[in-house]
Amino acid sequence: MIQDKNVQSPIHSGFNAQSTSWDVIKGIDLTGKTVIITGGYAGIGLETTKTLVSAGAQVIVPARDIEKARKNLSGVQNIEFELLDLMDPQSIDAFAEKFIASGKKLDLLINNAGIMWVPLRRDSRGIESQLATNYLGQFHLTARLWPTLKKANGARVISVSSYGHQMAPFNFEDPNFEHREYQTLLGYGQSKTACNLFAVELDARGKAFNVRAYSVHPGSVYGTDLGREEPIDLFKQMGTHDENGNIKPEVEARLKTIPQGAATTVWCATSPLLHDIGGVYCENCDIAEIDHGQIEHRFDDPATIRGVQSYSLDKQNAEHLWKLSEEMIGIPFNIG
Cite the active site residues: 182
Query: What's the rounded Cα separation, in Å, for the pair 234 and 149?
Result: 40
Query: What's the rounded Cα separation, in Å, for the pair 105 and 131?
Result: 28
Q: How are beta strands 280-283 and 212-217 bridged, if at all? A: parallel
**What is the Cβ-side half-sphere exposure of residue 172, based on CA atoms within 13 angstroms?**
14
Residue 152 CB neighbour total at 10 angstroms: 19
What letters, b where the CB count within 10 A reaches 16 and e where it falls short, cover 211-248? bbbbbbbbbbbbebebeeeeeeeebeeeebbeeeeeee
